[in-house]
Amino acid sequence: MRCPSALPTLLVLTLVGLCGSFLPAQNTGRVLIADDDAQEVSISKLTAVNYRKGKPLPDEVQGLDGQLVRIEGYMALGTLEGVDSFELVPESCECGRSKVQHFIDVTIEEGLTTFRPGRITLEGVLSVGEVEEDGFVVSLYRLTIRSLDDED
Amino acid sequence: MLTAPALGILLGAVSGLAPLQPSVPQDLEQLITAARTGRTVIRPQAARRIVRLWAQAESEARAGIIQRLRDVSGDSPATLARIGPALVEVLGEFGDESLRRLLWRSLSDTDFPWRPYAARSLAGHPVTSESPRFLSALADPIPPVRVAALLALANLGQPDHAPAVRQLLDDEDDRVRRSAADLLVQWGQPSALWWLYEELLREDHFFDRPTGEQARYQAWNLLSPRLGKIADAEPYDPGRAPSGPESVASLQAVRARLLELKAGERPILPPQARAAGEVPTELLGMELRSCRKGEMFLRWTANDLLLVGQGNPARVVLPEGTVQALLDATADARAGLSDKRLFGSPGCDMEQFHVRSVRTLSATQWIVSCGPEPVPDLRPPGLNSLGRALLAAIPKIPASEAAADPRLVQLRLRARAVLQAIGGPLD
């Protein structure tokens, strides 16, 4: 399971598309959708939580669930090419990525991954909470973005 | 890969209170497999489940679990390396002397790729007779090993080692400084709170990575539980720049609380522990992280400084024009790399080259990475040229300067060794 809040995601992205102001991206010829309502969230804030399975996350982190956010980070080094998801991490190294609170599971709705080594900014709807597979917690944070081409 | 039904049975057994029944061997094999080769995020959880499986098992099953772990671990650092970091990190928890001996042997082997994991494994349940070895590990070249040694001393509860721990307040690595401060505060030395406070003032970056912000969050995690609620000011928010107007009053309130907690006068910290704010524009950089040789962070700035380290870096003045000449000399090599940015595969060894365009101020990165096994010809010729040029641009540091700042000791020699350990020889 990737994102339990797919419907709100679609609604929000649709609203973004309808209401957002359109700005030309520098040097790329792409069109960026700017949404002033997107909340800036630091990946350090998310990854610094003291997490234990079953322990409630801090209120200010839980409160981000379902919110439209803008967040900066790095594609994990293990990112595969040509898939629809990747992990966003605070540093582009393998340091500490094995802990479930240390990455954001990103799902791309349109298009596929191409690895980018530098810092990227993503905008999308954040989902917060434990997702388990086979009894293991496989993610705490999930972000659904429309496309990597919108990345700033 | 574990299937849901198999894991369902397994989890029921592990989480229940009743002693485990003879299904242990099968469950154990599944968990060992998951800890070695499962998804990265699953591996430490699977390893932790083995510990719980063992803790809840009856004595015969316990002995069987330990024997199996001995078997998979082998009898040398080379065989232990093959089980992967997640299992290494828990082996110290089984109270087994032979596993513990193997962990110590592996920690002493500088070629063992999972030394931080072995150190944490030993530190979780240390025994008093190991104190001298943990004290030696406080000087280990790899920062996470030093952090693990601090954890061991904390778990041993031996505050008479406070003088040795206090030396690490001046460590070049911020993770080590924070851990040392945290331990000293635990041991009744509130003056160490000032080292955590200093981290709240950081605004530094390493190229585009907000290292200062990361440090603020980590330090605040340790500091805030000790401060309690401060009523007279807005709560401090590590996500805000410390120089911003919202932070000034909050930080003032934190300082006042530290005085109430008898932290004493705010000390003058050594350069490596001091918050630095922004640094001059970096144009070239090398970020080297080796699982065997440790880490180095080097940057060359537009105004001809070589910056060594993160946070408040050591500054080495270079002859005027050095950095522009470096950019000119490496332009062809960089152009030859085309669009490829990642060479090798993810692992604990990584070298990252950063080049910032003077015109657009955007940075480009090339990453060379591999796991614990060396990969021949990993670094492409273009990055070999760039690495050689950067290495040659590290000047000989006068002994007096190196004595004043440990980050400058044998700088070029150490950088060459780390580069060689990751991407192979540059020549």
Q: Encode pLDDT of B216-239 as tens digits.
A: 999 999 999 999 877 767 789 999
Residue B353: per-residue pLDDT? 95
pLDDT at B33 over 90: yes
pLDDT at A28 over 50: no
Residue B391: per-residue pLDDT? 95
B411 pLDDT tier (thresholds 50, 70, 90): very high
CA A137, chain centre distance (Å): 17
pLDDT at A58 over 70: yes
Residue A4: per-residue pLDDT? 38
Residue B16: per-residue pLDDT? 41
For the segment A62-78, the average pLDDT, to the nearest whole number, is 94
**What is the C-alpha to C-alpha distance for residues B424 and B379, in angstroms, rounded to an integer?**
7
Closest C-alpha among B59, B62, B50, B56 to residue B20: B56
A33 pLDDT tier (thresholds 50, 70, 90): very low
pLDDT tens track for B34-72: 999 999 899 999 999 999 999 999 999 999 999 999 999
DSSP reduced 3-state for B246: helix
A32 pLDDT tier (thresholds 50, 70, 90): very low
Q: Is the ipTM of this complex over 0.90?
A: no
Express as a percent the part of chain B with pLDDT over 90.
Answer: 77
pLDDT at A34 over 70: no
For the segment B124-138, the average pLDDT, to the nearest whole number, is 97
Residue B14: per-residue pLDDT? 44
B1 pLDDT tier (thresholds 50, 70, 90): very low
What distance, in Å, lies between the first and last C-alpha atoms of chain A?
27
Chain A residue numbers with beta carbons less than 8 Å from the beta carbon of B217 are 42, 44-45, 48
User: How many Cβ atoms from other residues are within 10 Å of residue A98's Cβ?
Assistant: 18
Residues 78-117 of A with CB under 8 A from B: 78, 90-95, 97-100, 103, 115-117
pLDDT tens track for B188-204: 999 999 999 999 999 99
Please state, in angstroms and as integers, the Cα–Cα distance from residue B421 to each residue in B170, B370, B427, following that order.
Answer: 27, 10, 13
Which backbone phi and psi does B181 adopt, to 5 degrees?
Answer: -65, -45
> Model-level pTM greater than 0.90?
no
Residue B286: per-residue pLDDT? 97
Residue A148: per-residue pLDDT? 85
pLDDT tens track for B326-367: 998 888 888 888 788 899 988 888 999 999 987 777 889 999
Total residue length of chain A:
152
For the segment B150-160, the average pLDDT, to the nearest whole number, is 97
Average pLDDT, chain B: 90
Closest C-alpha among A67, A112, A65 to residue A85: A112
Question: Exposed, middle or buried: residue B109 (CB in 10 Å: 0-12, 13-18, 19+)?
Answer: middle
pLDDT tens track for A85-111: 999 999 987 665 578 999 999 999 998
Which backbone phi and psi does B290 adopt, to 5 degrees?
Answer: -115, 135
For the segment A29-43, the average pLDDT, to the nearest whole number, is 67
For the segment B75-93, the average pLDDT, to the nearest whole number, is 97
**What is the C-alpha to C-alpha distance for residues B312 and A16, in angstroms, rounded to an integer?**
41
Judge: B346–A76 Cβ closer than 8 Å, yes or no: yes
Please state, in angstroms and as integers, the Cα–Cα distance from residue A29 to each residue in A25, A70, A146, B427, following that order.
Answer: 6, 21, 18, 41
**What is the C-alpha to C-alpha distance for residues B114 and B91, in angstroms, rounded to an integer?**
13
Chain B residue numbers with beta carbons less than 8 Å from the beta carbon of A42 are 210, 213, 217, 239
**What is the C-alpha to C-alpha distance for residues A118 and A77, in angstroms, rounded to an integer?**
11
Look up residue A104 and give its two tokens. 């954001």
Minimum Cα–Cα distance from A140: chain B residue:
B41
Chain B residue numbers with beta carbons less than 8 Å from the beta carbon of A48 are 214, 217-218, 220-221, 238
Smallest Cα distance from A18 to chain B, Å: 31
For the segment B408-417, the average pLDDT, to the nearest whole number, is 94
pLDDT tens track for A13-23: 333 333 333 22
